Amino acid sequence: MPSPMIDTQKISHFVKKGSEEVQLSNADLRVLEAWKPSTLTSYNAATRKYAKFKELTNNRHYTLPITPPELYAFVAWAGQGQEDDGGSKINATSLTKYLFAIKLWHTFHDVPYPYHTKARVKLMLKASGKQDAVIPPKPGKSPVLVTDLTNLFQLLTGRGPEAKTIQDLAVVAFWGMARIGELTHQATRGPIGYRSEPTNRNVRHFTHVTTIALHQAKTAKPGEIQLLKLRPMNSPLCPVQAIKRQLISTLTMSDSLFGYDQTLQTFAILPRRKM
Protein backbone atom coordinates (compact mmCIF):
# COMPACT_ATOMS: atom_id res chain seq x y z
CA MET A 1 0.00 0.00 0.00
CA PRO A 2 1.34 3.49 -0.81
CA SER A 3 2.43 5.57 2.15
CA PRO A 4 -0.23 8.13 3.21
CA MET A 5 2.48 10.79 3.02
CA ILE A 6 3.38 9.99 -0.61
CA ASP A 7 1.02 10.77 -3.46
CA THR A 8 2.29 8.34 -6.09
CA GLN A 9 -0.11 9.76 -8.67
CA LYS A 10 1.95 12.95 -8.67
CA ILE A 11 5.14 10.97 -9.37
CA SER A 12 3.63 8.42 -11.73
CA HIS A 13 6.51 8.57 -14.22
CA PHE A 14 9.18 8.23 -11.55
CA VAL A 15 7.66 5.12 -9.96
CA LYS A 16 7.35 3.41 -13.34
CA LYS A 17 10.27 1.35 -14.57
CA GLY A 18 10.32 3.04 -17.93
CA SER A 19 6.90 2.56 -19.49
CA GLU A 20 6.24 -0.45 -17.23
CA GLU A 21 3.91 -0.21 -14.25
CA VAL A 22 5.42 -1.74 -11.11
CA GLN A 23 4.00 -2.83 -7.77
CA LEU A 24 5.74 -0.79 -5.10
CA SER A 25 7.21 -2.80 -2.24
CA ASN A 26 7.71 -1.65 1.34
CA ALA A 27 11.37 -1.12 0.50
CA ASP A 28 10.38 1.08 -2.46
CA LEU A 29 8.18 3.21 -0.22
CA ARG A 30 10.95 3.54 2.33
CA VAL A 31 13.29 4.82 -0.38
CA LEU A 32 10.68 7.35 -1.52
CA GLU A 33 10.33 8.60 2.05
CA ALA A 34 13.97 9.74 1.94
CA TRP A 35 12.98 12.56 -0.44
CA LYS A 36 10.73 15.55 0.12
CA PRO A 37 7.50 15.61 -1.91
CA SER A 38 8.74 18.68 -3.79
CA THR A 39 11.98 16.87 -4.66
CA LEU A 40 10.09 13.85 -5.96
CA THR A 41 7.90 16.14 -8.05
CA SER A 42 11.00 17.66 -9.67
CA TYR A 43 12.42 14.18 -10.34
CA ASN A 44 9.10 13.18 -11.90
CA ALA A 45 9.33 16.18 -14.25
CA ALA A 46 12.62 14.78 -15.55
CA THR A 47 11.25 11.28 -16.09
CA ARG A 48 8.15 12.75 -17.74
CA LYS A 49 10.44 14.65 -20.11
CA TYR A 50 12.22 11.41 -20.95
CA ALA A 51 8.86 9.72 -21.56
CA LYS A 52 7.93 12.53 -23.95
CA PHE A 53 11.22 12.01 -25.77
CA LYS A 54 10.48 8.30 -26.21
CA GLU A 55 6.96 9.06 -27.40
CA LEU A 56 8.08 11.59 -30.01
CA THR A 57 10.78 9.24 -31.28
CA ASN A 58 8.26 6.38 -31.69
CA ASN A 59 9.53 4.33 -28.75
CA ARG A 60 6.55 4.19 -26.43
CA HIS A 61 7.59 0.88 -24.86
CA TYR A 62 10.88 1.04 -23.00
CA THR A 63 12.39 -0.07 -19.74
CA LEU A 64 15.31 0.66 -17.44
CA PRO A 65 18.23 0.74 -17.51
CA ILE A 66 18.70 3.37 -20.21
CA THR A 67 21.38 2.39 -22.72
CA PRO A 68 24.22 4.77 -23.66
CA PRO A 69 22.77 5.41 -27.17
CA GLU A 70 19.38 6.23 -25.61
CA LEU A 71 20.98 8.63 -23.15
CA TYR A 72 22.99 10.43 -25.83
CA ALA A 73 19.89 10.69 -28.02
CA PHE A 74 17.89 12.19 -25.14
CA VAL A 75 20.56 14.80 -24.37
CA ALA A 76 20.74 15.77 -28.05
CA TRP A 77 16.94 15.95 -28.27
CA ALA A 78 16.39 17.97 -25.09
CA GLY A 79 19.41 20.30 -25.22
CA GLN A 80 20.17 23.17 -27.55
CA GLY A 81 22.28 22.64 -30.66
CA GLN A 82 23.48 24.86 -33.50
CA GLU A 83 20.62 23.75 -35.74
CA ASP A 84 17.93 24.47 -33.14
CA ASP A 85 15.86 27.62 -32.70
CA GLY A 86 15.43 27.25 -28.94
CA GLY A 87 11.67 26.94 -29.14
CA SER A 88 11.05 23.59 -27.42
CA LYS A 89 14.48 23.01 -25.89
CA ILE A 90 15.59 23.28 -22.27
CA ASN A 91 18.78 25.00 -21.21
CA ALA A 92 21.91 23.13 -20.19
CA THR A 93 21.41 23.92 -16.51
CA SER A 94 17.94 22.38 -16.47
CA LEU A 95 19.11 19.43 -18.53
CA THR A 96 21.91 18.77 -16.04
CA LYS A 97 19.31 18.64 -13.25
CA TYR A 98 17.16 16.30 -15.32
CA LEU A 99 20.08 13.94 -15.85
CA PHE A 100 20.77 13.91 -12.11
CA ALA A 101 17.11 12.96 -11.55
CA ILE A 102 17.36 10.21 -14.15
CA LYS A 103 20.36 8.76 -12.28
CA LEU A 104 18.26 8.64 -9.12
CA TRP A 105 15.42 7.11 -11.12
CA HIS A 106 17.77 4.21 -11.79
CA THR A 107 18.79 4.10 -8.13
CA PHE A 108 15.16 3.91 -7.03
CA HIS A 109 14.47 0.97 -9.34
CA ASP A 110 17.80 -0.65 -8.38
CA VAL A 111 19.15 -0.84 -11.92
CA PRO A 112 22.63 0.24 -13.13
CA TYR A 113 23.03 3.69 -14.66
CA PRO A 114 25.56 3.99 -17.55
CA TYR A 115 28.08 6.12 -15.64
CA HIS A 116 30.74 5.60 -18.30
CA THR A 117 28.80 8.09 -20.47
CA LYS A 118 29.80 10.94 -18.13
CA ALA A 119 32.62 12.43 -20.24
CA ARG A 120 30.66 12.39 -23.49
CA VAL A 121 27.51 13.79 -21.88
CA LYS A 122 29.58 16.54 -20.26
CA LEU A 123 30.81 17.64 -23.68
CA MET A 124 27.26 17.62 -25.07
CA LEU A 125 26.09 19.78 -22.16
CA LYS A 126 28.99 22.16 -22.74
CA ALA A 127 27.96 22.52 -26.39
CA SER A 128 24.35 23.17 -25.37
CA GLY A 129 25.50 25.79 -22.88
CA LYS A 130 27.30 27.67 -25.65
CA GLN A 131 24.09 27.81 -27.66
CA ASP A 132 22.10 28.91 -24.61
CA ALA A 133 24.43 31.89 -24.26
CA VAL A 134 23.49 33.32 -27.67
CA ILE A 135 19.72 32.94 -27.21
CA PRO A 136 17.93 35.96 -25.67
CA PRO A 137 16.82 35.08 -22.13
CA LYS A 138 13.14 34.69 -21.40
CA PRO A 139 11.64 37.49 -19.31
CA GLY A 140 11.59 36.63 -15.63
CA LYS A 141 8.52 36.49 -13.45
CA SER A 142 7.36 39.79 -12.04
CA PRO A 143 7.52 40.02 -8.24
CA VAL A 144 4.28 39.96 -6.26
CA LEU A 145 3.69 43.44 -4.87
CA VAL A 146 1.58 44.74 -1.97
CA THR A 147 -0.84 46.13 -4.55
CA ASP A 148 -1.29 42.61 -5.95
CA LEU A 149 -2.03 41.29 -2.45
CA THR A 150 -4.47 44.14 -1.84
CA ASN A 151 -6.31 43.45 -5.10
CA LEU A 152 -6.57 39.74 -4.31
CA PHE A 153 -7.78 40.48 -0.78
CA GLN A 154 -10.50 42.79 -2.09
CA LEU A 155 -11.52 40.32 -4.79
CA LEU A 156 -12.07 37.54 -2.24
CA THR A 157 -13.86 39.66 0.37
CA GLY A 158 -17.41 38.53 1.07
CA ARG A 159 -17.18 35.33 -0.98
CA GLY A 160 -17.58 32.77 1.76
CA PRO A 161 -15.43 30.80 4.24
CA GLU A 162 -13.17 29.17 1.66
CA ALA A 163 -12.36 32.54 0.06
CA LYS A 164 -11.69 33.96 3.52
CA THR A 165 -9.21 31.17 4.19
CA ILE A 166 -7.47 31.87 0.88
CA GLN A 167 -7.24 35.54 1.89
CA ASP A 168 -5.48 34.64 5.13
CA LEU A 169 -3.21 32.15 3.38
CA ALA A 170 -2.16 34.77 0.83
CA VAL A 171 -1.43 37.33 3.55
CA VAL A 172 0.70 34.90 5.58
CA ALA A 173 2.58 33.60 2.53
CA PHE A 174 3.31 37.14 1.31
CA TRP A 175 4.67 38.61 4.54
CA GLY A 176 6.36 35.38 5.57
CA MET A 177 7.90 34.96 2.09
CA ALA A 178 6.73 31.35 2.16
CA ARG A 179 5.74 28.97 -0.58
CA ILE A 180 2.03 28.14 -0.75
CA GLY A 181 2.92 24.44 -0.86
CA GLU A 182 4.68 24.70 2.50
CA LEU A 183 1.52 25.98 4.19
CA THR A 184 -1.13 23.77 2.57
CA HIS A 185 -1.91 20.07 2.33
CA GLN A 186 -2.33 17.51 -0.42
CA ALA A 187 -5.68 16.15 0.79
CA THR A 188 -8.97 17.80 1.74
CA ARG A 189 -9.77 15.23 4.43
CA GLY A 190 -8.08 12.86 6.84
CA PRO A 191 -5.43 13.05 9.55
CA ILE A 192 -2.36 15.23 9.21
CA GLY A 193 0.88 13.53 10.15
CA TYR A 194 2.86 14.77 13.12
CA ARG A 195 5.70 17.04 12.03
CA SER A 196 4.61 16.99 8.41
CA GLU A 197 2.43 19.86 7.21
CA PRO A 198 1.50 22.85 9.42
CA THR A 199 -1.26 22.55 12.02
CA ASN A 200 -2.37 24.57 15.05
CA ARG A 201 0.35 23.08 17.21
CA ASN A 202 3.04 24.59 14.97
CA VAL A 203 2.04 28.19 15.85
CA ARG A 204 3.65 30.12 18.70
CA HIS A 205 2.77 33.66 19.81
CA PHE A 206 5.32 36.01 21.38
CA THR A 207 5.19 39.70 22.31
CA HIS A 208 6.38 41.10 18.99
CA VAL A 209 6.31 38.11 16.67
CA THR A 210 4.27 35.02 15.77
CA THR A 211 6.07 31.97 14.40
CA ILE A 212 5.02 28.95 12.37
CA ALA A 213 7.27 25.88 12.46
CA LEU A 214 7.65 24.37 8.98
CA HIS A 215 8.83 20.76 9.03
CA GLN A 216 8.96 20.27 5.26
CA ALA A 217 10.27 23.58 3.96
CA LYS A 218 11.71 23.22 0.48
CA THR A 219 14.98 24.96 1.36
CA ALA A 220 15.48 23.11 4.65
CA LYS A 221 17.82 20.19 5.20
CA PRO A 222 16.25 16.79 6.03
CA GLY A 223 14.83 16.94 9.55
CA GLU A 224 15.46 20.68 9.86
CA ILE A 225 12.69 22.97 11.10
CA GLN A 226 12.33 26.42 9.55
CA LEU A 227 10.54 29.18 11.42
CA LEU A 228 8.23 31.49 9.54
CA LYS A 229 8.30 34.81 11.44
CA LEU A 230 5.32 37.15 11.23
CA ARG A 231 5.12 40.59 12.81
CA PRO A 232 1.93 42.49 13.66
CA MET A 233 0.93 45.60 11.74
CA ASN A 234 -1.94 48.05 11.78
CA SER A 235 -3.50 46.93 8.51
CA PRO A 236 -6.24 44.62 7.17
CA LEU A 237 -3.30 42.72 5.64
CA CYS A 238 -1.79 41.93 9.06
CA PRO A 239 -0.40 38.36 8.97
CA VAL A 240 -0.69 37.88 12.74
CA GLN A 241 -4.41 38.66 12.63
CA ALA A 242 -4.75 36.27 9.68
CA ILE A 243 -3.22 33.48 11.77
CA LYS A 244 -5.48 34.30 14.73
CA ARG A 245 -8.55 34.08 12.49
CA GLN A 246 -7.46 30.68 11.25
CA LEU A 247 -6.79 29.38 14.75
CA ILE A 248 -10.30 30.41 15.83
CA SER A 249 -11.87 28.56 12.89
CA THR A 250 -10.18 25.22 13.61
CA LEU A 251 -11.72 22.47 15.74
CA THR A 252 -8.68 20.60 17.14
CA MET A 253 -4.95 21.15 17.62
CA SER A 254 -4.24 18.69 14.79
CA ASP A 255 -6.37 20.55 12.23
CA SER A 256 -4.75 22.13 9.21
CA LEU A 257 -3.67 25.68 9.86
CA PHE A 258 -5.58 26.77 6.76
CA GLY A 259 -9.07 25.35 6.55
CA TYR A 260 -12.66 26.32 7.28
CA ASP A 261 -15.86 25.03 8.87
CA GLN A 262 -18.18 23.36 6.39
CA THR A 263 -20.67 22.45 9.14
CA LEU A 264 -20.60 22.67 12.91
CA GLN A 265 -18.69 19.37 13.09
CA THR A 266 -16.84 19.25 9.78
CA PHE A 267 -13.55 21.03 9.11
CA ALA A 268 -12.44 21.26 5.48
CA ILE A 269 -8.74 21.46 4.63
CA LEU A 270 -7.69 23.98 1.99
CA PRO A 271 -5.93 21.66 -0.51
CA ARG A 272 -2.70 22.53 -2.28
CA ARG A 273 -4.09 21.75 -5.73
CA LYS A 274 -6.61 24.63 -5.45
CA MET A 275 -3.79 27.12 -5.17
Neighbouring residues of 74: CB distance < 8 A, sequence distance ≥ 6: 50, 53, 66
Same domain, 158 and 71: no
- 275 within a domain of the structure (yes/no): no
More confident residue, 18 or 139: 18
Tell me the average pLDDT across 91-106: 97
Same domain, 86 and 151: no
What's the total number of domains in the chain? Answer: 2
- Give the global pTM: 0.64
- 140 within a domain of the structure (yes/no): no
Q: Last residue of a domain, which of 95, 112, 134? A: 134
Lowest mean pLDDT across 77-81, 142-146, 257-261: 257-261
More confident residue, 188 or 33: 33
pLDDT on residue 2: 45
The answer on pLDDT for 251 being more than 90 is: no
Neighbouring residues of 97: CB distance < 8 A, sequence distance ≥ 6: 42, 46
- 68 within a domain of the structure (yes/no): yes
| Angstrom distance (rounded) from CA 275 to CA 272 | 6
Same domain, 117 and 156: no
What CATH number is attached to the domain comprising 103? 1.10.150
| Angstrom distance (rounded) from CA 220 to CA 174 | 19
The answer on pLDDT for 258 being more than 60 is: yes
Same domain, 264 and 151: yes
Could you tell me how many residues make up the chain? Answer: 275
Q: Last residue of a domain, which of 86, 102, 134? A: 134
Q: What is the pLDDT of residues 168-212, one digit of tens each?
A: 999 999 999 988 888 887 655 545 655 667 788 889 999 899 999
Same domain, 169 and 127: no
Q: Last residue of a domain, which of 134, 157, 184? A: 134
CB 95 within 8 A of CB 128: yes
- 2 within a domain of the structure (yes/no): no
Q: Which domain holds residue 40?
A: 8-134
Q: What is the pLDDT of residues 114-143, one digit of tens each?
A: 999 999 999 999 999 998 888 777 777 788
Tell me the average pLDDT across 101-109: 98
